[in-house]
Structure 1
Amino acid sequence: MTVQSSISLRGNAAAIFAEAIAAADPAQSLRQRLQSNPLPSPEQGGRSILIAIGKAAPAMMKEALQHVQGDHVALIVTHSDNRSEVPGATVLTSGHPIPDERGLKAGRQIIALLSAARKQDQVIALISGGGSALVPAPVDGLTLSDKIAVNEVLLSSGLDIVRMNLVRQHLSQLKGGGFLRHGSPASSTAYILSDVIGDDLRAVASGPTALPIGSHADARRTCIETGIWHRLPKAARTHLEKSIPEHAMAVEATNILIGSNRISLQAAFRCAMQTYRAEIVSDALIGDVSDAAEQIFRATTSATFDRPTALLFGGETTVRLRGTGCGGRNQELALRVAQLAHERTIPGNWVFLSGGTDGRDGPTPAAGAIVDAGTLTRIRTTGHDPASLLESNDSHKALSLSGDLLMTGATGTNVADIQVFLLGTNV
């Protein structure tokens, strides 16, 4: 059997990842779902209020506007990397992952639009990952600076996305069902592209059309038990200390899932099967990147090398910040896997890809990285120590030195992360 080179393995890993992204195409996913769940129409004399938030917002809105009938208004809020003009809609951009002043203004515009809704109107929400940071709408008593500080604490805490969004929901006017509260008494329908593992729709973009993940007290308890309470700004702690009853919803939304990490992982599997003996090892790769790297490496130890093999993973890991470097969860995961493979040795050629389906990994322009057996050596030849860079959370610099960054540009979608481990033969 022909031994696959690292170059061909790298190309194949990138192709498999591209198939995962294609399966999360927001326009196509929405179009298919509308065949069974068409856009609802407003009552007589009403109008449709279409609001799209998230990294896939422009593509979702463009498709939705081809199906809407009658009087309507359309507003999009997305990241600047994903901005595109959509005829018939107002397009706003704001900051991600750190909220900014533009997002604060966008949140106010959404609240104003929803607050003007009447009973005969129909609210149509188009929700995708990234929406939480893109439309900050702090509760009374919190400033944008407070929200930014909270977000920075959460992003560096190691908390999973569900617990992060639990806290965000109780500090926001739009999250945790805020669309419903402000849009009442109009009916609401949401089409959701999920970036949350397990597809808990309360957590996607912090659940603007869903009931909260937990109570006000649950959010406070989470902050205390995970040790981040005293890192939060005083205004956030003051609000969370209040005794606030759970919100009573005047209406409930119809929430419809149109795409997810699991769907993209299945597409990656079908692509990999054309060339490799393929296996989906996990569709819930979560938790700290160091633990995830160990889980991934263990999967390689049970693989046989009589034919090329593809081990696939989907999920969303977390990084606990220790240093002042720059990187993201996918880059750090890839570098950790490369380190484990160097220490324990994998026979034959191999490559490992970890990438964010949105094309952005943390505050960097990279989607992630593709590493191989030569990654650490290439870093060392530049005079740098991979372990020291990793300790400083400086995976972006390390992988830039080795030439292993995965650069896709903004993809216009977001369904969390995909990992591809390709093992060549050693015969």
Structure 2
Amino acid sequence: MSTLAPRQFLLDLYSSAVHAVSAEKCLPAFLPEPPAQGRTIVIGAGKGAAAMAKTLEQYWTGALSGLVVTRYAHGATCQRIQVVEAAHPVPDEAGRLAATRMLAMVQGLSPDDLVICLISGGGSALLALPADGITLEQKQAINKALLKSGAAISEMNCVRKHLSKIKGGRLALACAPARVVSLMISDVPGDDPGIIASGPTLPDATSCQQALAILRKYQIEIPSEIRAHLQSGAAETPKPGDARFTRNSHHIIATAQMALEAAAATARAAGITAYILSDGIEGEASDVALMHAAIAKQVAKHDQPFQKPCVLLSGGETTVTVRGTGRGGRNAEFLLSLALALDGQPGIHAIACDTDGIDGSEDNAGALYEPATGVRASVLNLHAKAMLENNDGYGFFSALADLVVSGPTLTNVNDFRAILIL
């Protein structure tokens, strides 16, 4: 421990966390038996969908075919399953076309057929098929407004389900009477399978009225076509208890808790005690940072509630209400707010990254903080408070060469944070 290099230690924790929730490590144990007779069709969507498809191909013993859609630059080479790339977080025409093809692919299946659905975070935007009477441009506008509003992922996905022809269980209904097995990498706090990628293969307990209430709550302008669609009830999703889901099953194969436990094991191997604060923290990134900073300072000053040296780990999905024009990402936002709150407190180092390798829509996974961050920023004439107010965490840490750039990891269990206290 005396030779511990804090920066590399934190990067090692992030690497361990990501590896623990990779498709290659998590998916094989959950593969169903091939059908005795009938076809096997693979469909799916998400940032990890291509990697999941590749792993499935490697371990599958029977015939199969299919189509998955993933984010641009998140593809993988598959032999029997076609991989299509589309836009995230705002959907595009490529995603709409992929969703249309996917629905067509599962038409006319029999009870003997098996559909394996590979779902991971990002699937909501990637599997974009607007309900009848709603245009892709209208869905794009609603999606952009929700992303800027600070709405929680569960709220965003409630709205998305009710504006879609494929989400909120509708994809599973399109597969009937075939059996559907959904394998899911969870990117949502609480690991509710109905929220992951807006639950395309699971029944939905939310309602059109809830979707309208969410749009009103965040003062999002609603086109008349969407308002009429939601008010009419035509957008209602299939509900829990629907007999059409009886033969189907789902398995969550990777979670934020698994990533945090892997990081904790890596920390212990290095002689540092690890404490997992929570795997499901939500809220404004800058506010969540204040809470983390307060705990870290209490440990540093008073050895309460934990004795140092130690590392505090947490996950979940924070949000950013965008008010500035800077280059952000919720993990950079968290870390910049943390830096201001810690104000150079000796002995505290931190990392905040997205496990998918992309912080928001930027090219970095997140960033690193050290006690000298504030002093180094002053030398470069960087004004941390002003840059936080402008949502420019990326610009701040880029100037310090403290961005973490991993590239797409091909999995996604959302935020990973580690605060090392020496």
Name the TM tier (shorter chain): over 0.9
Give the match's secondary structure for 1:196: coil
For 1:194, the equivalent position in structure 2 comes to 186
Q: Share of identical aligned residues, percent? A: 35
In the alignment, is the contact (CA less than 8 A) between 1:280 and 1:312 conserved in 2?
yes
Report the Cα offset of residue 40 of structure 1: 4.0
For 1:115, the equivalent position in structure 2 comes to 107
Q: Distance in 1 between matches of 2:222 and 2:283?
A: 22
Q: Distance in 2 between matches of 1:234 and 1:370?
A: 45
In the alignment, is the contact (CA less than 8 A) between 2:172 and 2:245 conserved in 1?
yes
For structure 2, the residue ranges without an aligned partner over 5 or more in a row are: none
Match of 1:237 among 223, 227, 237: 227
Q: Distance in 2 between matches of 1:312 and 1:261?
A: 11
Q: Does 1:251 align with 2:242?
A: no
Q: Distance in 2 between matches of 1:266 and 1:280?
A: 8
**Matched pairs, number:** 411
Q: Distance in 2 between matches of 1:381 and 1:109?
A: 55
Q: Distance in 2 between matches of 1:43 and 1:238?
A: 46
For structure 1, the residue ranges without an aligned partner over 5 or more in a row are: none
For 2:362, the equivalent position in structure 1 comes to 364
Q: Distance in 2 between matches of 1:208 and 1:246?
A: 10
Q: Distance in 1 between matches of 2:47 and 2:26?
A: 14
For 1:318, the equivalent position in structure 2 comes to 319
Computed over aligned residues only, the root mean square deviation of the Cα atoms, in angstroms, reads 1.9
For 1:58, the equivalent position in structure 2 comes to 50
Q: Distance in 1 between matches of 2:107 and 2:259?
A: 36
In the alignment, is the contact (CA less than 8 A) between 1:277 and 1:308 conserved in 2?
yes
In the alignment, is the contact (CA less than 8 A) between 1:52 and 1:60 conserved in 2?
no
Report the Cα offset of residue 69 of structure 1: 4.8
Name the amino acid aligned to 2:261: Q
Match of 2:34 among 41, 44, 59: 41
Please show how residues 170-185 of structure 1 align to structure 2 within 5 Å.
170-185=162-177
For 1:31, the equivalent position in structure 2 comes to 28
Report the Cα offset of residue 137 of structure 1: 0.6
Q: Does 1:266 align with 2:272?
A: no
- Describe the shift of the 1:11–1:69 C-alpha distance in structure 2 as closer, same or farther (beyond 3 A): closer
Partner deviation per Cα, 1:157-211 (whole Å, 9 max, x = no partner) = 1111111111111111111102112112211111111111111000111111111
Name the amino acid aligned to 2:10: A
Q: Distance in 2 between matches of 1:349 and 1:301?
A: 10
Name the amino acid aligned to 1:271: T
Q: Distance in 2 between matches of 1:381 and 1:151?
A: 39
For 1:303, the equivalent position in structure 2 comes to 299
Give the match's secondary structure for 2:299: coil
Q: Distance in 1 between matches of 2:33 and 2:164?
A: 27
Q: Distance in 2 between matches of 1:286 and 1:247?
A: 28
Q: Distance in 2 between matches of 1:278 and 1:68?
A: 38
Report the Cα offset of residue 299 of structure 1: 1.4
Q: Distance in 2 between matches of 1:324 and 1:173?
A: 34
Q: Distance in 2 between matches of 1:42 and 1:422?
A: 49
For 1:328, the equivalent position in structure 2 comes to 329
Partner deviation per Cα, 1:326-379 (whole Å, 9 max, x = no partner) = 11100100110001011xx52x32211111000000110000111112223333
Give the match's secondary structure for 1:333: helix
- Describe the shift of the 1:41–1:31 C-alpha distance in structure 2 as closer, same or farther (beyond 3 A): closer
For 2:282, the equivalent position in structure 1 comes to 286
Please show how residues 64-143 of structure 1 align to structure 2 within 5 Å.
64-143=56-135
In the alignment, is the contact (CA less than 8 A) between 2:162 and 2:237 conserved in 1?
no
Q: Distance in 1 between matches of 2:120 and 2:59?
A: 19
Name the amino acid aligned to 1:41: P
Q: Distance in 2 between matches of 1:216 and 1:40?
A: 37
Report the Cα offset of residue 71 of structure 1: 4.2
For 1:378, the equivalent position in structure 2 comes to 376
Match of 2:10 among 13, 17, 20: 13
Q: Distance in 2 between matches of 1:148 and 1:170?
A: 14
- Describe the shift of the 1:401–1:246 C-alpha distance in structure 2 as closer, same or farther (beyond 3 A): closer
Report the Cα offset of residue 122 of structure 1: 1.4
Q: TM-score, normalised by structure 2?
A: 0.92
Q: Distance in 2 between matches of 1:390 and 1:142?
A: 37
Q: Distance in 2 between matches of 1:166 and 1:189?
A: 22
Q: Distance in 1 between matches of 2:10 and 2:367?
A: 11
Give the match's secondary structure for 1:176: coil
Report the Cα offset of residue 2 of structure 1: 4.5
Q: Distance in 1 between matches of 2:252 and 2:200?
A: 14
In the alignment, is the contact (CA less than 8 A) between 1:149 and 1:233 conserved in 2?
no
Q: Distance in 1 between matches of 2:313 and 2:133?
A: 45
Q: TM-score, normalised by structure 1?
A: 0.91
